[in-house]
Amino acid sequence: MKNLLRVAALSTVLLIGGGAALAQETSWPDPGQSIDLYIGYVPGGVSDTFARQVAQTLEKQTGVRVQPINRPGAGTQLAQAAMLIAPKNGYSMSLINLPSLLNYIWTGEAAPFTQANFAPIALLGYSPNGLIVRGDSPYQSLKDLADAARNSATPINAGWNGSSDDAMVIAGLEQAAGTSFNKVVYNGTPEKIQGLASGDVAFFSGAVSGVRSQLETGEFRILAQWGPQRSTLVPDVPTASEQGFDITYDSWIGVSFSAEVPADIRAAATEALRKVSEDPDFIRANESSFIEVRFVPGDEVPAIWTAQEEQVASVAALLKQ
């Protein structure tokens, strides 16, 4: 806390003496302020832990207090809404998860915002996702699973969370295999793990970070990962496209401002988050929880966002048929 005061004093001196140009560059963040980071999840989960790491590292980098605020509800909509109505001065940001933020497209419920309301600061984390089966499962590849599903008299049970991210891959798999699965809906990864471990479902799709304990013991295996190329965290697992299935799906965690935040503040924040992404402690902490630290600056995010919107919309349209 002494550091904080020192930084405050130092930057005051800089502000007074450094002239207008310097003042503009260092005007965000103002050490007298504190940054609110809205998190749309209850404490303790993968995304929440990641957000808290971001908050801690950003605080270390900028010397400004970063306060995580959990406002769970409606698939992070309440947190986004809280961020969007807060003052647009660059001291309110929210955690965004792509594609789960796009769930509103999938449910068809009206969302209180669109992409145009957000000014993403950066994407920081890449969470590798894959198709998880039991260690003793008869399936060794996606092809085994697709063949078995086609030849089985009763549909194979698949665990999913009933929302856009799982729908994208399971619908894609159904289409590619020309069959359909019997979908069992679970709330969250722990329930999916219980379902798979007890044999109630034959597989599920999910974030690798949620099952790392089961993977290490060999209780579970990853049949395929959904990213366009292999993640550095699970380099031995082939991607779906390597196995001849045209299914790709990326899962990102990032931080966003409201679109009304001035451009210079956004640029300064992107720069601050770049430093966060280069922090060795931050990288190590996240790798141990199976999240790859990958920095994507804010101005490149809209392309990813739009592509995912199209993907979710096409799957939603497919499933409605």
User: Can you give the binding site for other proteins, defined by CB under 8 A?
Assistant: 1-2, 5, 34, 42-46, 48-49, 52-53, 56, 65, 67-75, 77-78, 81, 103, 106-107, 109-110, 112, 154-155, 157, 162-163, 182-187, 190-191, 193-195, 197-198, 200-201, 212-214, 216-217, 284-285, 288-289
When the beta carbons of 49 and 141 are compared against other proteins, the nearer one is 49
User: Whole-number minimum distance, CB 241 to other proteins, in Å?
Assistant: 28
User: Whole-number minimum distance, CB 186 to other proteins, in Å?
Assistant: 7
When the beta carbons of 17 and 198 are compared against other proteins, the nearer one is 198
User: Whole-number minimum distance, CB 128 to other proteins, in Å?
Assistant: 16
Cβ-Cβ contacts under 8 Å for 123 (sequence gap 6 or more): 98, 252, 253, 254, 294, 295, 296, 301, 304
User: Whole-number minimum distance, CB 86 to other proteins, in Å?
Assistant: 10
When the beta carbons of 35 and 240 are compared against other proteins, the nearer one is 35
Cβ-Cβ contacts under 8 Å for 153 (sequence gap 6 or more): none
When the beta carbons of 29 and 75 are compared against other proteins, the nearer one is 75
- Cα dihedral value 57, 62, 67, 69, nearest 10: -70
CA angle 225, 250, 310 (to 5 degrees): 125
When the beta carbons of 38 and 257 are compared against other proteins, the nearer one is 38
Q: What kind and span of H or E run contains 47?
A: helix 46-62
CB 61 within 8 A of CB 122: no
